[in-house]
Amino acid sequence: MLYRENGQFKTTYRQDQQMLPILQDRIFMALLLLFVFGVAPFIFSDYLFLSILIPFLVLSLAAIGLNLLVGYCGQISLGHAAFMSVGAYAAYNLVLRVPQLNFLVVLILAGLIAALVGLLFGIPSLRIRGLYLAVATLAAQFFVDWTFARVKWFTNYAPSGSVSTATIDIFGWTVDTPVRKYLFLLAVVTVFALVAKNLVRGHMGRAWMAMRDMDVAAEVIGIRPVYAKLTAFGVSSFYVGVAGALWGFVYLGSWEPLAFDINLSLNLLFMIIIGGMGSILGSFFGAFFIVALPILLNQAPEWLGIHLSTAMVSNLEAMIFGSLIIFFLIVEPQGLARLWAIGKEKLRLWPFPH
Amino acid sequence: MKRNRNLIILCVFLLAGLIMPLATGASDPGFYIEVLLGGLMAGVLYSLVALGFVLIFKASGVFNFAQGAMVLFAALSVARMAEVMPLWLATLLAIGIMIAFAFIVERLVLRPLVNQDPVVLLMATLGVTYFLNGFGQAVWGSDIYEINLGIAKEPVMILQNLFQGGILINKDDVAAAVAAVVLVALLALFFQKTKTGRALRAVADDHLAAQSIGIPLNRIWVIVWSVAGVVALVAGVIWGAKLGVQFSVSQVALKALPVVILGGFTSIPGAILGGLIIGVGEKMAEVFLAPIAVKAFDLAGGGIENWFAYVLALLFLLVLPEGLFGEKHIDRV
């Protein structure tokens, strides 16, 4: 009853093309932003920030990045954690070697370096696709893992191979407490998500989607495959690189090369399958799901009075992830985002469905 | 012509790399042959896993990421059941389990996803991988288990009069190689001489044509996943007997991906040859190339074998996109 667009007439093209065409959506988004920026920092506990919201925000950013490539451009990648680690180590070395740089600049530069590496490994996508591309991106994963584990310069000759970061300082505002970390991440993720949403609505995103849906037809209507595929790889790696830098600096604080192994790559892929391929909103759903499910699985048996060993919990987690992947691929290939859209459709008709 | 030239250049480089340690006198012949044999043994295992990939890919067009998980699951089943019953009975039961698994996968995963994009199917098998790893370890436990095949493990010295110091080989390695050869021979017989084998080849050739002459696709898929399960079982038992059954066994699947790229997605001889090439190449690179790289670039240890197989596969992909024996097809954008 409340969610109805009757009477909202579009009289200009500008109005017709806006990101949230329905008034109620705009109100909802405004309230949501008000809540997460203005209310949440005061009412949530540190535990909630540290164990759920901070990883959720960083992984959402990474999932958006992967979604741009896999969901929008249709190029599979099993090696995106590698680009995250490129971003993280690039940021680490920039902060270490050029300490006068502002962290925001470092973040952008780290993203650009990751984008360069992504472009390099994206070049094979011009000639191969599908399964072959999956293997090529796996090569990126293993090669990058190895590079950061073995080439001592990247870890500043740390004997154990692990690196630790200094506290981030932005114009005198130190990002040290959980609330400040949360706010910083929230601001970054909001900006990046907005940019991504508009990228995929624009010329570039349309080129990607055309490539995804049918590459031959896309070329016939004048989309350059080289341009479309390489921009997808570049932008995607940029996002993921920024996410990697944030993952290292804000969430982990200190990390080893194994922090960015293939399991993280696969987890990113699961996020966008479960959340919804080809949907920015879905990336958030998927990231939240992947972050929250293990915590829920750890807590739920305790509430029910059953005690499970940690090994059993991780096995259960793997089983549930695996089943959900298959379930979503079969039943709802567009993931949670599609369920959200169906919910909205239903709400528009409610309570008179005819 | 140009492609052939590139291929020849690549092969010459590889051969040069193979001969280099011997030619420059960097290693004595005995040690060199030991490394070579070690590489071949690893290659046999890669071949076995790759064989499972190829069987399934040929028959159903599914790139089965779960092959490694199947290896682990089969090996775990054998190892844990052999604790309470004779090995042969445990193996038979494990084969039964793998066939049941094939039925379940066909019914719950493949049939609903029929005619989907190969990448979607790949992701579905990723789901199967996670499920099977979790399930296997939940049921059978997640420690390291042993499989005792009753073959002595101590190495045997051979050819002592030919090389100084002789060559050490393990008896269980030889047994593994023999088992692999027997398995491949049996598979070849099965594919060439039985009615089911002929049906499998028909499906691999053309799904639609096979179905239209009355070959039941669903049953063929069950059969081929069962065969892949048995191959996984053999690989798992051999690997498990050598190094113990543990989670890392499932990671061998990641090494089998470059093998199938190298050999071609649809070729059984390709899988075997590719496995051997990757096995030998990787060992050679680790033993002879890594120390040079470590010295030259001041690395913190070698570990080239983690990515060498992938780089080799990528190189092959550039000059020979369909692999050594794959079907040639042209599609371009």
> Least CB-CB distance to A152: which of B120, B261, B300?
B300
- Please give the pLDDT value at position B228: 92
For A55, A173, A234, the CA distances from A244, given in Å and listed in that order, are 11, 22, 15
pLDDT category at A130 given cuts 50, 70, 90 is: confident
**Residues of A (28-67) whose Cβ lies below 8 Å from B:** none
Q: Answer whether residue A73 is part of any domain.
A: yes
> Least CB-CB distance to B124: which of A132, A139, A325?
A325
pLDDT digits (tens, 9 = 90+) for B276-315: 888 888 888 888 877 777 777 777 666 777 788 888 888 8
pLDDT digits (tens, 9 = 90+) for B26-75: 667 777 887 888 888 888 888 888 888 888 888 777 888 889 899 999 99
Residue B258 C-alpha, separation from nearest chain A C-alpha, in angstroms: 7
Angle (deg, nearest 10), helices B171-193 and B29-60: 30
> Least CB-CB distance to B109: which of A76, A152, A326?
A326
pLDDT digits (tens, 9 = 90+) for A143-159: 898 888 888 888 888 77
Interface confidence, given as ipTM, is 0.83
Angle (deg, nearest 10), helices B195-205 and B29-60: 80
pLDDT digits (tens, 9 = 90+) for B242-282: 778 888 777 777 888 888 888 887 788 888 888 888 888 88
Q: Answer whether residue A7 is part of any domain.
A: no
Which range has the top average pLDDT, B94-103, B152-161, B259-268? B94-103
> Least CB-CB distance to A318: which of B122, B131, B307?
B131
Strand A168-170 vs strand A173-175: parallel, antiparallel, or unpaired?
antiparallel
Residue type, B114: V
Which of B131, B143, B248 best probes binding to A when mutated, by most A CB atoms within 10 angstroms? B131
- Name which residue leads in pLDDT, A131 or A256: A256
Interface contact A319-B134, CB threshold 8 A: yes
Interface contact A152-B299, CB threshold 8 A: yes
Residue B99's Cβ-side half-sphere holds a number of Cα atoms within 13 Å equal to 9
CA dist., res. B60 & res. B124, Å (int): 14
* Three-point CA angle A253, A258, A261, nearest 5°: 115
**What proportion of chain B, given as a percentage, has pLDDT over 90?**
13
For the cut 70, the answer to whether the pLDDT of residue A214 exceeds it is yes
Asked if the bond preceding A351 is cis, omega within 30° of 0, the reply is: yes
Interface contact B134-A315, CB threshold 8 A: yes
pLDDT category at B197 given cuts 50, 70, 90 is: confident
- Please give the pLDDT value at position A236: 95
- Please give the pLDDT value at position B333: 47
Residues in chain B with CB shorter than 8 Å from the CB of A150 are 299-303
Which residue ranges make up each domain of chain B?
A: 2-319
> Least CB-CB distance to A135: which of B119, B301, B313?
B313
For the cut 60, the answer to whether the pLDDT of residue B102 exceeds it is yes
Residues in chain A with CB shorter than 8 Å from the CB of B142 are 311, 315
Residues in chain A with CB shorter than 8 Å from the CB of B122 are 76, 131, 134
Which of A66, A76, A131 best probes binding to B when mutated, by most B CB atoms within 10 angstroms? A131
Interface contact A315-B135, CB threshold 8 A: yes
Phi/psi of residue A221, each to 5°?
-85, 10
Instruction: Indicate left, alpha or beta for A333 from its phi (over 0: left) and psi (-120 to 50: alpha).
Output: alpha
Q: Answer whether residue A2 is part of any domain.
A: no
For the cut 70, the answer to whether the pLDDT of residue A327 exceeds it is yes
CA dist., res. B249 & res. A137, Å (int): 22
pLDDT category at B94 given cuts 50, 70, 90 is: very high
Please provide the average confidence, as pLDDT, over all residues in chain B: 81
For the cut 90, the answer to whether the pLDDT of residue A61 exceeds it is yes
* Domain containing residue A239: CATH number: 1.10.3470
For the cut 90, the answer to whether the pLDDT of residue B114 exceeds it is no
DSSP B72-109: HHHHHHHHHHTTTS-HHHHHHHHHHHHHHHHHHHIIII
pLDDT digits (tens, 9 = 90+) for A216-272: 899 999 999 889 999 999 999 999 999 999 999 999 888 887 888 888 998 999 899
Structurally, how many domains does chain A consist of? 1
The predicted model gives A103-109 an average pLDDT of 92
- Fold for B2-319, please state it: ABC transporter involved in vitamin B12 uptake, BtuC (1.10.3470)
For the cut 90, the answer to whether the pLDDT of residue B97 exceeds it is yes
- Please give the pLDDT value at position B202: 86
Q: Answer whether residue A36 is part of any domain.
A: no
Residue A27 C-alpha, separation from nearest chain B C-alpha, in angstroms: 37
Which range has the top average pLDDT, A196-210, A253-267, A292-306, A322-336? A196-210
- Residue A196 is part of which domain span? 46-254+262-349
**Residues of A (258-297) whose Cβ lies below 8 Å from B:** 262, 266, 269-270, 273
Cα–Cα nearest to B52, from B251, B310, B230 = B230
